[in-house]
Amino acid sequence: MIKKKVSAKKVKVKPAVKKSSKTSKLPAKKSVIKKKAPVLLSGGNPQITKGYGDGPVQEYISAMPGWKKEIGRKLDEIIVRTVPYVYKAVKWNSPLYGIEGDGWFLGIHVFNKYVKIAFFRGSHLKPLPPGESKQKEVRYLDIKENDKIDEAQLSSWIKQASELPGEKM
């Protein structure tokens, strides 16, 4: 039997790095979670996650671009003042207003040159809102940048719409 001589390999050990006793003068990193701004779809309509309640609607209004944001705030204020028990949601990237358990009576949508209010049973309102629809019962009101909102008429339509059977969506 022949024995082979095994040689041990020498491993180089790096000397330990001595840590400085001085503290860094750089400020500690803060972890900040930045919320992404909503994507604006065609016409500037904010893409907001579907949700129920005032929170998602306020998020939508806050994301409305330019002058449309003020229109959104004003519309929300008029709707809440007219129907204090209104139920809100964002579905299909549009704020919806309705009566809980009864359905939706209006929705808002942003376009390039105007903000559209859709009255889902608008054909029953007196006088009729000016915008026609391909859908038999739906009527629209378009608000452009320099339009003055007739709050009395709008409140009347909102009140009438809230008293009609809501649209189930």
> Model confidence over 120-136: pLDDT tens digits?
999 999 999 999 999 99
Give the whole-angstrom CA distance, residue 97 versus residue 90. 9
pLDDT in tens, 151-163: 999 999 999 999 9
Note the pLDDT of residue 28: 53
Q: What residue spans define the domains of the chain?
A: 42-163
CATH 3.90.1150.200 assigned to 42-163? yes
The answer to whether the Cα torsion of 79, 84, 85, 89 is positive or negative is: positive
Select from 107, 103, 118 the least CA-distant residue to 169. Answer: 103
Neighbouring residues of 58: CB distance < 8 A, sequence distance ≥ 6: 76
